[in-house]
Amino acid sequence: MGQVQEVLLRMRTFGLWILSPVLILAFVACSPVARFHGYAPDDMQLAEIEVGRDTRQSVEEKIGRPGVSGVMEGSGWFYVQSDWIEEGWRAPVEVDRQIVAISFDSADRVSNIERFGLEDGEIVALSRRVTDTGPSGMSVLRQLMSNFGRFNPAQMLGG
């Protein structure tokens, strides 16, 4: 009986040695992973910028050039930072977003500085425009062939 108990004890110890790394890996795989994208200057950096006095050049020297600028030439600069948490197999969730918008006037001087957070965001419904494919049920070849019967050479010669 002593040998059987000893074998069972060794099997149990061996099982724990095998099971422990598997459990640790499973536990680590479920821990959240934080990802940070972009850059938005903090309030201390923004305090260095004076509205009406600083220009694009001085803003670039103080806090750097943004990753995103306005679509139109001469429009504002946008600094965007997003923080995401990813947990296991679940889709990533955005936990924080900071957008700093710096507007410039016609003389390229700072006219306004605004900060927006995730709570300020709105869901925007994008319109989906689809080009009409033409008459349904007719292939391109069939459309071309149907025009051959309508050809009138007199129309081309102006008569």
Both 27 and 38 in a single domain?
no
- Cβ atoms within 10 Å, residue 59: 23
> Would the pTM of this model clear 0.75, i.e. be above it?
no
pLDDT value at 72 more than 60: no
Q: Which domain holds residue 22?
A: 1-31
3-state DSSP percent of the chain in helix, strand and coil, to 5: 35, 25, 40
Residue 18 pLDDT: 75
Same domain, 40 and 77: yes
Q: How many domains does the chain have?
A: 2
With bands split at pLDDT 50, 70 and 90, how would you rate the model's confidence at 120? confident
* Residue 159 forms part of a structural domain: no
Nearest-angstrom CA–CA distance, 145 and 134: 16
Pair (7, 55) in one structural domain: no
What pLDDT digit, counting tens, does each position of 18-47 carry? 767 776 766 666 778 889 999 999 999 999
